């Protein structure tokens, strides 16, 4: 289908001179230039006419011209007006804008050989800024806890209950699945090695100590950090974007008392329960794998477990759950409150909160391992 008044370019040779003259006619607008065949031919012709300053350009016979058509000419001219150009007065404004835009100076980023020192310094300052904010947040939470203890009747019980439900009860499924599978894998791999040395009965000791003391709390914390930690950060971030946090301040409602403290208390309560649940699922998976791989009965496994794992290890696992839950909630709330009122900051803050929470949990687990290195093995 041929477009009426299609854009055309004609090279003419005037009788009085030997100079070539390029005459443009037709409609040079986006709807006329949408025809691929015509556009391909025009681009090919404009490309052949580049770098020829002796050409005389005549655009006065163009019926209508928009910025798309003008940009095609401007690119062919090397982003500057040719020496001999004839325009219609209505076209002057378009090309004047293109000429002004081509003269804009963009700021240059200078690279310094000491740039890595500057980046390191900025990272250190950012770290101290985060530490300062976390310390202030902890202080605010402690004040809110004392207020809650003094006036428990008017405390945020509903918020605490809702957060325990969302962070604890709704996480039972994923923690059970992961714990069960980890128990199967750990039991199967340990059985393969123990069978070579005839130490099948020690599978209970290895599985019990690994799950109850280390893997159970760590698995539950990592899953909660990815699931509930991101939810807490996103919730606070959305409240920042929708200006709900500002509205709460206007109404005299404390962020810490109604938002931060309930989340920290909820995770501090829910995490030990999730640790017990994850331990049970991991041990169940390990028992099933031991039964099919080594022929150990479930009854023997249950009877041997209390003597293989001293009771203090259960306390260490539960203590880890309380500490991990508190750390996850603090980190998530810290990054949630720092989110700026835009969607980009919301996504970046949520991702940073999850990564930081998991890192902090692993670091805290290493501290537990060092502090209690001589406890629970006798």
- CB–CB of 288/185 below 8 Å? no
Region 186-214: mean pLDDT is: 84
C-alpha 324/C-alpha 362 separation (Å) is: 9
C-alpha 57/C-alpha 77 separation (Å) is: 10
**Among 236, 229, 306, 230, residue whose Cα is nearest residue 270:** 229
Phi, psi of 27 (to 5 degrees): -105, 115
At 19 the pLDDT is 67
103 pLDDT band, cuts 50/70/90, is: low
- CB–CB of 186/215 below 8 Å? yes
**Through-space distance between the first and last CA atoms of the chain, rounded to whole angstroms:** 90
Q: Is the dihedral of CA 74, 76, 77, 79 positive or negative?
A: positive
At 142 the pLDDT is 94
Q: What is the 8-class DSSP label of residue 309? A: S
- The string of pLDDT tens digits covering residues 116-125 is 888 888 889 9
200 pLDDT more than 90: no
Q: Would the pTM count as exceeding 0.85?
A: no
**Among 249, 257, 223, residue whose Cα is nearest residue 325:** 223
Strand, coil or helix: 155: coil
* Packed helices 261-293 and 172-197: angle between N→C axes, nearest 10 degrees: 40
Region 15-39: mean pLDDT is: 72
372 pLDDT more than 80: yes
Of 122-136, 173-187, 227-241, 243-257, the range with the lowest mean pLDDT is: 243-257
CA-angle at 34, arms to 33 and 37, nearest 5°? 85
378 pLDDT band, cuts 50/70/90, is: low
- The string of pLDDT tens digits covering residues 239-263 is 988 888 888 888 888 888 889 999 9
79 pLDDT more than 80: no
Region 263-283: mean pLDDT is: 94
Enter the tokens of residue 269: 């309560």
C-alpha 37/C-alpha 238 separation (Å) is: 50
At 1 the pLDDT is 44
C-alpha 362/C-alpha 359 separation (Å) is: 5
Region 323-331: mean pLDDT is: 95
Enter the tokens of residue 260: 């931060």
- The string of pLDDT tens digits covering residues 305-323 is 888 888 898 899 999 999 9
Cα dihedral 308, 312, 317, 321 in deg (nearest 10) = 160
C-alpha 27/C-alpha 90 separation (Å) is: 14
Region 274-288: mean pLDDT is: 93
- The string of pLDDT tens digits covering residues 41-54 is 777 777 777 767 67
* Alpha carbon 333 to chain centroid, angstroms: 16
At 306 the pLDDT is 86
Structure-model confidence comparison of residues 47 and 210, the more confident one? 210
* Alpha carbon 353 to chain centroid, angstroms: 8
CA-angle at 88, arms to 84 and 94, nearest 5°? 90
Domains, the chain, with CATH or none:
8-102 (3.30.750.24), 120-371 (no CATH)
């Amino acid at each position: 289908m041929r477009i009426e008044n299609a854009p055309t370019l004609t090279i003419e040779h005037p009788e009085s001179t030997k100079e070539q003259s390029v005459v443009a006619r037709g409609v040079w607008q986006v709807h006329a230039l949408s025809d691929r065949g015509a556009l391909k031919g025009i681009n090919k012709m404009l490309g052949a006419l580049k770098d020829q300053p002796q050409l005389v350009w005549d655009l006065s016979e163009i019926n209508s011209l928009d910025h798309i058509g003008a940009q095609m000419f401007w690119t062919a001219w090397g982003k500057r007006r040719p020496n001999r150009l004839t325009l219609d007065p209505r076209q002057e404004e378009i090309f004047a804008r293109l000429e002004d835009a081509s003269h804009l100076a963009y700021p240059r980023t200078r690279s310094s050989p000491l740039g890595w020192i500057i980046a390191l310094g900025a990272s250190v300052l950012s770290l101290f800024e985060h530490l300062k904010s976390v310390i202030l947040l902890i202080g605010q939470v402690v004040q809110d806890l004392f207020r809650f203890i003094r006036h428990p009747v008017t405390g945020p019980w509903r918020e605490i209950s809702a957060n325990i439900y969302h962070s604890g009860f709704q996480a039972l499924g994923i923690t059970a699945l992961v714990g069960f599978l980890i128990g199967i894998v750990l039991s199967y791999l340990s059985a393969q090695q123990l069978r070579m040395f005839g130490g099948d009965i020690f599978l209970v000791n290895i599985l019990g100590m690994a799950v109850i003391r280390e893997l159970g709390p760590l698995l539950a914390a990592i899953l909660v950090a990815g699931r509930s930690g991101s939810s807490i950060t996103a919730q606070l971030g959305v409240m920042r974007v929708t200006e709900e946090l500002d509205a709460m301040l206007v109404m005299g409602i404390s962020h810490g008392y109604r938002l931060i403290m309930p989340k920290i208390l909820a995770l501090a309560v829910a995490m030990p329960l999730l640790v017990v649940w994850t331990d049970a699922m991991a041990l169940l998976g390990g028992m099933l794998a031991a039964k099919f791989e080594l022929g150990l009965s479930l009854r023997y496994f249950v009877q041997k477990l209390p003597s293989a794992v001293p009771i203090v290890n259960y306390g260490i696992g539960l203590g880890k759950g309380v500490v991990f839950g508190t750390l996850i909630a603090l980190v998530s709330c810290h990054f949630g409150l720092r989110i700026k009122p835009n969607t980009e900051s919301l996504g970046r803050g949520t991702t940073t909160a999850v990564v930081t929470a998991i890192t902090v949990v692993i670091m805290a687990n290493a501290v537990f391992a060092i502090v209690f290195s001589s406890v629970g093995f006798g």
